Chain A
Amino acid sequence: EDKVVQSPLSLVVHEGDTVTLNCSYEVTNFRSLLWYKQEKKAPTFLFMLTSSGIEKKSGRLSSILDKKELFSILNITATQTGDSAVYLCAVGGGTASKLTFGTGTRLQVTL
């Protein structure tokens, strides 16, 4: 059975701090790893990674995948209160477009 484990489960930081969120996975026929941000209801897409060692960046957010060690990290630099959310890691495998999600990391950024 496919499995995704995220750590830490929750995190409280001060505005301006840098955070690293972790995601490890076990999946049959790995195809991709995705990160989503969930503030209220709809998870919003951040990154999709398919190749090892290639960093994806979008502003203050970046992510990298290690397919050998089966993990990914999401970095957020110079955090802002608007970054407060649950960050979900998901992996896709097999033939369907099914994603297996982790429990998420709840990030709270305080002033």
Chain B
Amino acid sequence: DAGVTQSPTHLIKTRGQQVTLRCSPISGHKSVSWYQQVLGQGPQFIFQYYEKEERGRGNFPDRFSARQFPNYSSELNVNALLLGDSALYLCASSLQTRANPGQGREKLFFGSGTQLSVL
């Protein structure tokens, strides 16, 4: 079975540009989360979406936005890129269900990430 897939794997942009990162969750997973990992640090929470609704947002500026589609895939958009946005962007999915929303939602399965470089 396919794991979490992300595209593109690498991206180079210049300051001020906009970028869209894509993520497909594991089949059957309805929850998708986005994390930013700066070199030498642990991943930092950006967003969580469950059944197409935003369920959590981290401490990131409004330049960061996301959405989830009916097939549970997701996009992360970053506008007006800054040098400090250079990082590995990780997508994760989890088996959160309506019947048991508290079970399994924290057991995240991560994709290989998109390495974003802003010049």
Contact = CB atoms under 8 A, between A and B. Distances in A.
Interface of A: 4, 31-32, 34, 36, 40-45, 48, 88, 90, 92, 95-104
Nearest to A48: B107
A103 B42 contact: yes
Interface residues of B, number: 31
B15 interface: no
Contacts of B40: 103
Given A42-B111, A44-B110, A45-B108, A98 B43 contact: no
A34 B58 CA distance: 19
Instruction: Give the interface SS of chain A, mostly helix, strand, loop or mixed.
Output: strand
Interface in B64-78: none
A101 B111 contact: no
Contacts of A99: 43, 45, 106, 108
A51 B106 CA distance: 15
20 contacts: A31-B102, A31-B106, A40-B112, A41-B88, A41-B112, A42-B4, A42-B90, A42-B112, A45-B107, A97-B31, A97-B33, A97-B105, A97-B106, A98-B58, A99-B108, A100-B45, A101-B35, A101-B43, A103-B41, A104-B42
B24 interface: no
Given A97-B55, A97-B96, A43 B43 contact: yes
B113 interface: yes
B55 A96 contact: yes
Contacts of B86: none
